[in-house]
A and B are shown apart, each in its own frame.
Chain A
């Protein structure tokens, strides 16, 4: 989904915003005053004043709601708390990364084991030092097609989206797949995976979380921030990934907490 549509979504959400859903209980409006000091108020104004008050309250309430959801919500959606998206292809991390028994059945009808692929097999830039290593890049389509040109049944509709994009079937071999990003830090944060993986690999006692996937090498440390991705059918964000979390961890591990470490 592109940005415009996303914006529209939120706009519509805001349009539907109803007062009763507010987490703040509104106090009962006082009875309309009939006198303001000694001045007799016109009747219409008497009815308008409490309405105006209501509006003001609603307004403040809306802002409060906004602040609260923005502050406590995940960084991706501010209004609404959804934690995952439908991706263009339902990519199951379980099948690829897990080492456990799965509910899936393979083409021959046997129950599948997870493949137990190392995270860096696909997200191969993640433990590199340079700028490209800042993000766990999603691999190119034809990287996927290396296997899925052969693996997977021909009538697998999900895989056919991939094969189409890679030009194995269909005519058009040039359009990439627009994956939606799940873990996104604010724009003013420059996060680089590599030093974190390097440190946690050397200091495994600081790893948090567990993984169903490979527990050796760089894959072992991912769960600290990303949770048990190997057990996820659809990836969602587990940790809030707020600055406090970053700073706490940096302090615990005596990593620099200079602003310019992450913000530049």
Chain B
């Protein structure tokens, strides 16, 4: 009698981020902050470079005035198929599950920070302090997400609480998940619909189609991490006219 058991492990979650649509507006950053109970990055924490943001929008300068260009790229955990953070964890707190997620198990973590050192994308964050909210601000905390205590690592989970909730709903209603039904906080917030989330194992999903886009590339491909986050390159109509403007 296993008919009613949730079918687990048939999916491979992934994300597409279209850099050509990214306007650097930070909507995804705050949406993530609100969804995942990330502690307030106080000025002190920012100054000490210990602020936590599971997704950040990096800005890179190219060229010089008057031809300056600023390029934006949202960077979150890449959920690498071949993740450098996983083999280094002495307590298996960082592992890969069968749905393609790189999972951080908070209650296993003992805070060695090896994973943060191994990660080339620098998307793992250590809780140097207990998270503190003033009494009344606790009201807006998301009850679906664990509050991480001091001394453990945390990182983007692809909003696994949303994956679980939506899968559960679909199961309960006896139907299959539809493509696009699960939205991570960042993909829902993205002002230009530039972040798309979905199942790579479904050949008809939007992410599967975009994965083969001619502009598709992965971040720091030379490290061979095989990320599940695929970026679509920024288009610059002037690129072929000018020399490379990198510095």
**Is there direct touching of A and B in the complex, by C-beta distance under 8 Å?**
yes
Interface residues of A (CB under 8 A from B): 129-131, 134, 186-188, 190, 192, 194-195, 198-199, 202-203, 205, 253-256, 258-261, 263-264
Contact (Cβ within 8 A) B146 A188: yes
Q: A188-B106, A260-B101 are in contact. Are A255 and B5 (CB under 8 A)?
A: yes
**Contact between A194 and B105 (Cβ–Cβ < 8 Å)?**
no
Instruction: Tell whether, in the assembled complex, residue A188 and residue B107 are in contact, meaning their CB atoms are under 8 Å apart.
Output: yes
B105 / chain A contacts, CB cutoff of 8 Å: 259-260, 263
Q: Which residues of A contact B171 (CB under 8 A)?
A: 195
Report the tally of A-B residue pairs with Cβ distances under 8 A. Answer: 81
Q: Is the CB of A258 within 8 A of B98?
A: yes
A-B contact pairs, 27 of them (CB 8 A): A129-B169, A130-B169, A131-B143, A134-B144, A188-B107, A190-B164, A195-B172, A198-B4, A199-B5, A202-B1, A205-B1, A253-B2, A253-B5, A256-B5, A256-B6, A258-B9, A259-B95, A259-B97, A259-B105, A260-B97, A260-B103, A260-B157, A261-B8, A263-B107, A263-B146, A264-B103, A264-B161
**A131 contacts across to B, CB distance below 8 A:** 143-144, 165
- Chain A residues near B70 (CB-CB < 8 A): none
Q: How far is the CA of A199 from the CA of B108 in the complex (A)?
A: 28
Residues of B within 8 A of A186 (CB): 107
**CB of B8, distance to nearest CB on chain A (Å):** 4
Chain A residues near B160: list those with CB within 8 A.
Answer: 260, 264
Q: Are A254 and B5 in contact (CB under 8 A)?
A: yes
- Is there an interface contact between A263 and B106, defined as CB atoms closer than 8 Å? yes
Contact of A134 among B3, B4, B143 (CB under 8 A): B143
Q: A67 vs B101: C-alpha distance in the bound complex, in angstroms?
A: 34
A256 touches B164 (CB 8 A): no
B146 CB contact (under 8 Å) in A129, A190, A202, A254: A190
Q: From the candidates B98, B157, B172, B173, name the one contacting A264 in the complex (CB within 8 A).
A: B157
The interface residues of chain B lying within 8 Å CB-to-CB of A198 are: 4, 172
| Bound Cα distance from A169 to B239, whole angstroms | 77
Within the complex, the shortest CB–CB distance from B175 to chain A, in Å, comes to 12
B137-180: CB near A (< 8 Å → 1, else 0) gives 00000011111000000000100110011001101110000000
B172 and A256 within 8 A (CB): no
| Minimum Cβ distance to chain B for residue A231 (Å) | 29
Lowest 4 A-B CB distances belong to which pairs? A256-B8, A188-B107, A129-B172, A264-B160
- Chain A residues contacting B147 (CB-CB under 8 Å) are 187
The smallest C-beta distance from A145 to any residue of chain B, in angstroms, reads 25
Q: Are B103 and A202 in contact (CB under 8 A)?
A: no
Q: In the complex, what residues of A have CB within 8 A of residue B173's CB?
A: 129
Residues of B within 8 A of A130 (CB): 165, 169
Q: Which of B5, B101, B106, B145 counts the most chain A CB atoms within 10 A?
A: B5
Chain A minimum-CB-distance residue to B173 = A129
Q: Complex formed: what's the CA distance from A134 to B164 in Å? A: 12
Residue of B nearest to A256 (CB): B8
Q: Is the CB of B1 within 8 A of A203?
A: yes
Nearest Cβ distance between residue B77 and chain A, in whole angstroms?
13
The complex places the Cα of A109 from the Cα of B52 at a distance, in Å, of 64
Among B2, B95, B99, B168, the residue within 8 A (CB) of A195 is B168
Of all chain B residues, which has the CB nearest A263? B105
Q: Quote the shortest CB–CB distance from A241 to chain B (angstroms).
A: 15
Closest beta carbon of chain B to A202's beta carbon, Å: 5
Q: B6 and A195: CB pair below 8 A?
A: yes
Which residues on the A side are within 8 Å of B164 (C-beta)? Answer: 190, 260-261, 264
CA distance A235 to B32 in the complex (A): 39
| Chain A nearest Cβ from B228, distance in angstroms | 15
Query: Do B8 and A259 touch (CB < 8 A)?
Result: no
Q: Which residues of B contact A263 (CB under 8 A)?
A: 105-107, 146
Smallest CB-CB separation from B108: which chain A residue?
A259
Find chain B residues with CB under 8 A from A253 CB: 2, 5
Q: Which of A190, A199, A259 contacts B4 (CB 8 A)?
A: A199
Most chain B CB neighbours (cut-off 10 Å) among A130, A205, A258, A260 = A260
Establish whether residues A259 and B103, one from each chain, have CB atoms under 8 Å apart when the complex forms: yes
- Complexed CA–CA distance, A187 and B157 (Å): 17
Contacts of B95 in A (CB 8 A): 259
Report how far A186 CA is from B108 CA in the complex, Å. Answer: 13
Contacts of A187 in B (CB 8 A): 146-147
Check if A264 sits within 8 Å of B97, measured CB to CB.
no
Q: Which A residues touch B98, using CB under 8 A? A: 258
> In angstroms, how far is the closest chain A Cβ from the Cβ of B35?
12
Contact of B6 among A134, A190, A255 (CB under 8 A): A255
Asked if A190 meets B144 with Cβ closer than 8 Å, knowing A259-B97, A260-B101, A260-B103, the reply is yes
Q: How close is A80's CB to chain B, nearest CB, in angstroms?
A: 23
